[in-house]
Each structure stands twice: as C-alpha cells, then as structure tokens.
A and B are shown apart, each in its own frame.
Chain A
C-alpha cells in the first residue's frame, strides 16, 4: 500500500498556479490574515505566505484557496 506522504504524515499539500493562486490542504487553522500576509498553523510549525492584494477565495475546513500576488512561501519550524 503506497499511500501518498501527505496522507501518511499529515503534511500540508500545497499547489501553486504561477504567482496568482495558492491552494493549501491539511492546515490546522488561520493565525494571521491580511492583504499582504497569510499565516497558517500546520501540524508541525507554521506556513507563512507573503505578497500583495490577498483575497481568500474559499475557506473550507483544512482547505484554503488564496488569490493575489504571491511573493514568498516560508515554512516556520519552531
């Protein structure tokens, strides 16, 4: 049985379309959100996305679609 690692290890799955869309699955909640920054809680650490004109197109439990100009994606492991 070859399960994908995101299911096995409960890691976030991140899909990006150029700079305009970023789609994150398996997150654990929203920490900070503004039009320049999005900080998500993961199982281990946080995910920090920086850019411009952010709009959260959809927000479902454990899924988020962010639209805007994405400039940086950081994993913060503390």
Chain B
C-alpha cells in the first residue's frame, strides 16, 4: 500500500513543480547513465527521463535542485545544458518584461476591489420627504454617505439603533447592505390627525328648502323636520346658555333638505355628424427647417372628406435638440351622418341631459327625488323642454359667530 502512497505523493509533486518551476536538462556524452547515477546518489529527484539517441539524455529537475545539480563534478566527457525553464518563477520573470501590462491588471483588480468596498447608493424606502431628509442628515453625521469605504462605517445594528433613537417619528427602520447599496426600509409612526380647531359657529341654510333629515352633534337645533327654511336661516345655533349670558360654541351637524331646480334643455331633431370610417392614409417624412422629405406613404389622398392629423418628433442628440423633425401625417376618412330623432326620442334625450345638467352643480350625494316637465314645444327643428326637479341634498353650511356682538 505504501508504494501507491509514495506514488501518489509523486503525482502531487507534478503540479507543485509548476509553481516552484522546473528546468529541462540535456546531458550529452558517452554513457550518460552514469550522470543519472551521480544525481541519484546526491538524492536529486529526476523526472521524465528520455533517451534521445545513443549519447544524449533529456530530463527535468526542480528549480530548487538546480544548485545541487551544478555541484556534481562535470567530467569532461559530459556536456550539461539547461534548455527550457517552465513554471511560475520563470513565467513571473517573463511577465516582468511586460511590466505595463502586469501593472494594468494589478491596478484594475485593486481598483475593482476598492470600488466594490465603497458605498455607492443609499436607498430610503417608505419615508415621507421630511423623514427621508432627517434620515440622510443622521446618516451623514454617522459618516455614511456616497463614496465612503465600507470599513469606516459602524455595524448595521448600531446604525439601526442610532436612527431609531434619534428620529422619533420612525417606529422601525430596516438596514440592509446589498453589495454597494445601502437599503433603508422606514416605517413611520402614524399619528392621528388632530381635529381642526373650530371657531364658534352656527349652521345656516345654504338655500331655501324643506328640512327632511337632521343630525346635530353639537349646538341647539332651531328647526324641525318639514320646516321651510330660507337662505341664511340659522338651523343649529352655536350659542348656548341663557340669552343674557350666551356661551358660543362651534355647532356641528348635517342637515338635509328638499330643494328645487329648473332646467331648460333644447335638443335638435336633426344633427349632423362627422363619423370616421376607419380608413386611413399615412405619410411619413423628415423635416429640416422648411424642407420636407417624404420617405414612406406615397399614395395620393383620395378621400372626399377627411380629418388631418400631424405628429412631429424632434430628433435629439445627447442633450441637444436638432432642427430635424420626423413627421407623420395621417388622414382619416370621414363621412357625414345625419341623426334624426322622433319627438319621443328627443324628449328622452332632453330629460337625460337635464338630469346631468342639474347634478353638475350639486354635491355627489344629492339625489333627484322627482322630475316634472313643465313646458314642452317644438320650435325651429328643436325640442324645447323645461323641467322641474325636487332634490334631496345637504343644505347645512357653517357660519362663524362674530364675537363681541
């Protein structure tokens, strides 16, 4: 077994010799085997011994054994030559000749090493701009900014603790270092918004209405459901206490009421339309100043009716805009269509338009309770309609109590 082990160790020598370096030796003379025996007696390991012809032997030795080989007395019958040198020490010597190249590689690797150990980006996620500014300021005071070496910064846990301690408006901050990027995940404290501080106020009616629904949170209600109210009438008073000694408070509440509107709508019976047929022609050209060069779409425009559309794109070079434009001219074929309503259809459309119009200047939660056509006539090819609406909407509106009255 030990044989194979020693054998194995020799195999290992094979690749270690690449690092230590080997020398190819040529021995010529009568009976070169004697030279090999001399080496053997000196204990110099030889490798890859080849006999070339009758009086010539080639073999390899390790670089470190070269001096011992030189000590073997050269009998005159031998000629010992050192041919080629292989392995790292020799490659290194050769590499020194191309010093610029080697320096380049070393500089590149060291630069890459230095740059990859710096901080190049700081990302802050989840913070409002003001908190983000605070975090950045705090990081700068800790010495964390762009272009700083990663060795000079404190530990991640320390950064996290520091930030959490110093910025009270954050609940938690996650600190992660991805390569050269610092990633901060901020969770802000959500403080409830304080209620707006109300001044003493009444609640008055926005317009004349019949009260249909009341909700009073604060204040003294002065009206009841089904009361008719004028515009500006106080619905909920903000003055509590006795008449001689009133205590002004902000009245809060919501009052809905039934209000009235009138709309006038005119719908023409015949309407002309331009409809697009879907057929298009496109011309592409380049424009330099006033000169236009067409490069695509040479069909002549054969459409009787059409819509023109022009799109231009100015060509940019880096940050400069060039006076060259790429333009696209499109012609969409259109046709004229006459739409005709019957009287009933026109009325239907008018009612729809009326509903839309009346809702335009009302709140979103307003509801049309009922509508009634007051007047209807056909005049000049148009259907004229006057409509009356009953609407349920919020009629309350705050009014500040002027102090000192």
Residue of B nearest to A14 (CB): B3
A61 partner, pick from B3, B13, B40, B51, beta carbons under 8 A: B40
**For the complex, what is the distance from the CA of A48 to the CA of B33, rounded to whole Å?**
15
How many angstroms from the CA of A54 to the CA of B7 in the assembled complex? Answer: 18
A35 within 8 A of partner (CB): yes
Interface flags for A4-32 (1: CB within 8 Å of B; 0: not) read 00000000010100000001010001111
A33 touching B49, Cβ below 8 Å: yes
Whether B143 sits at the interface, judged by CB under 8 Å, is: no
B-side contacts of A73, CB under 8 Å: none
Q: Give the chain B neighbours of A13 by CB distance below 8 A.
A: 3
Instruction: Report how far A30 CA is from B51 CA in the complex, Å.
Output: 13
Contacts of B50 in A (CB 8 A): 35, 55-56
Question: B41 at interface (Cβ–Cβ under 8 A)?
Answer: yes
Contacts of B102 in A (CB 8 A): none
Complex CA gap A65/B8 in Å reads: 12
Contacts of A55 in B (CB 8 A): 48-50
Residues from chain B with a CB closer than 8 A to the CB of A15 are: 3
**Hey, which chain B residues are within 8 Å of A63, CB to CB?**
6
- B10 and A65 within 8 A (CB): yes
Measured CA separation A74–B9 after assembly (Å)? 28
Complex partner residue of A30 from B3, B10, B13, B40, CB under 8 angstroms: B40
Complex contacts, A77 vs chain B, CB 8 Å: none
Report if B46 contacts A (CB, 8 A). yes
Asked if residues B40 and A60 are in contact (CB atoms below 8 Å), the reply is yes
B47 CB contact (under 8 Å) in A32, A34, A58: A58
Q: Which of B1-38 contact A (CB under 8 A)?
A: 3, 6-7, 10, 13, 33, 36-37
In the complex, what's the smallest C-beta–C-beta distance from B395 to chain A, in angstroms?
109
Which residues of A are found within 8 Å of B54, using beta-carbon distances? 34
Question: At the interface, yes or no: A59 with Cβ under 8 Å from chain B?
Answer: yes
Choice from A25, A31, A34, A58 contacting B3 with Cβ under 8 Å? A25
Closest to A34 in B: B51
Q: Collect the chain B residues with CB atoms within 8 Å of residue A43's CB.
A: none
Are the C-beta atoms of A59 and B46 separated by less than 8 Å? yes
Q: How far is the CB of B199 from chain A (nearest CB, A)?
A: 105
CA distance A57 to B17 in the complex (A): 14
Report B106-136 CB contacts with A as 1/0, cut-off 8 Å: 0000000000000000000000000000000
Q: Are B51 and A59 in contact (CB under 8 A)?
A: no
Chain B residues numbered 39-61 whose CB sits less than 8 Å from any CB in chain A:
39-41, 43, 45-51, 54, 57, 59
CA distance A30 to B48 in the complex (A): 15
Contact A59 B3 (CB under 8 A): no
- Considering the complex, give the chain A residue whose CB is closest to the CB of B3: A15
A24-78, CB < 8 A from B: 25, 29-35, 54-63, 65
- List the B residue with the shortest CB-CB distance to A25: B3
Which single residue of chain A is at the shortest CB-CB distance from B13? A58
A33 with B33: CB separation less than 8 A: yes
Instruction: Flag if B43 contacts A59 (CB, 8 Å).
Output: no
Whole-angstrom CA separation of A13 from B46 in the bound complex: 20
Q: Are B37 and A58 in contact (CB under 8 A)?
A: no
**Known contacts A56-B46, A58-B10; A30/B41 CB under 8 A:** no
B6 neighbours in A (Cβ, 8 Å): 63
Shortest CB-to-CB span from B7 to chain A, Å, is: 7
Do A35 and B7 contact each other (CB < 8 Å), given the known contacts A61-B41, A61-B43?
A: no
- CB pair B43–A57 under 8 Å, yes or no, is no
For B36, B51, B54, the residue with the greatest tally of chain A CB atoms inside 10 Å of its CB is B51
Whether A29 pairs with B51 at a CB distance below 8 angstroms is: no
Contact residues in A for B46 (Cβ distance below 8 Å) = 56, 58-59
Contact A33 B3 (CB under 8 A): no
A71→B40 CA distance, assembly (Å):
26
Bound CA–CA A62/B49 (angstroms):
16
A60→B45 contact, CB < 8 A: yes
CA–CA, A59 and B205, complex, Å: 117
Q: How far is the CA of A64 from the CA of B50 in the complex (A)?
A: 13
With A29-B40, A61-B41 as known contacts, state yes or no: A56 contacts B48, CB within 8 Å: yes
Question: Can you pick out 13 interface pairs between chain A and chain B where the beta carbons lie within 8 Å of each other?
Answer: A23-B7, A29-B37, A33-B33, A33-B36, A33-B49, A34-B54, A54-B51, A56-B59, A57-B47, A61-B40, A62-B40, A63-B6, A65-B10
Return the 5 tightest CB-CB contacts between A and B, nearest first: A56-B49, A59-B46, A34-B51, A29-B37, A30-B33
**A residues neighboring B (CB under 8 Å):** 13, 15, 23, 25, 29-35, 54-63, 65
